[in-house]
Amino acid sequence: VMYRLILNELTGVIPAYLALAGYPINFLGRNNVYMTVIGIEVLQWTPFAFLIMLTARQGLAGELEEAAAVDGATGFRFNTLVVLPVMIPTIIIVAFIRFIDSFRVFDHIYVLTGGGPGNRTTSLSIYIYKLFFNQNFLGEAVAVSIMLLVASLTLLFAGLRLAIRRNGR
């Protein structure tokens, strides 16, 4: 609800300041709404991803830094040759969590646009909601929900299988 108030074309703070600067933008209009929803998702979930990666980075052994310094790898080379390979599993996990989470995007789209204008921002979750509550197509809503569940589980098990294979278990 807060984003809808902030981004409203008539009463929103951000559009008002941009209009004063000479850049009138309707964030919830037909041409901009999709990027607005993406931007809001990025703003909401980027700190979570960085917190997980920061925790993984802080968990690196100090011996790695000492050994890299002895070998002459500092700065950019240290980060690309030592830190990045060690953090790849964490990066994959964060990307995987966000990918699976993108299937259930509902709240921002529903509050901001309700799936519109037209069907421009309709996600699977919004589609299922509209089928069930607006059109009373219970069977079709359940079928799409099950397909979403199967797709999510397939991706989950594929990711787990790759992770297990990569770790050699």
**Model pLDDT, residue 79:** 85
**Model pLDDT, residue 169:** 56
Domain presence at residue 64: no
Domain presence at residue 55: no
**Model pLDDT, residue 47:** 93
Domain presence at residue 129: yes
**For the chain, what is the domain count?**
2
| 156 vs 145: CA distance, rounded Å | 16
| 105 vs 151: CA distance, rounded Å | 15
pTM of the model: 0.71
Domain span at 141: 103-169
**Model pLDDT, residue 146:** 94
- Contact residues for 123 (Cβ-Cβ < 8 A; gap 6+): 105, 106, 109, 115
Residue 28: alpha-carbon gap to chain centroid:
19
Residue 124 CB neighbours (<10 A): 17
Domain presence at residue 20: yes
Per-residue pLDDT of the chain (169 residues; tens, 9 = 90+): 788 888 888 888 999 999 999 999 888 888 888 888 888 888 888 999 999 999 999 988 788 878 888 888 778 888 888 888 888 888 888 888 888 788 778 888 888 888 777 777 888 888 999 999 989 999 999 999 999 889 888 888 887 787 778 766 5
Domain presence at residue 73: no
**Model pLDDT, residue 78:** 85
Domain presence at residue 48: no
**Model pLDDT, residue 168:** 65
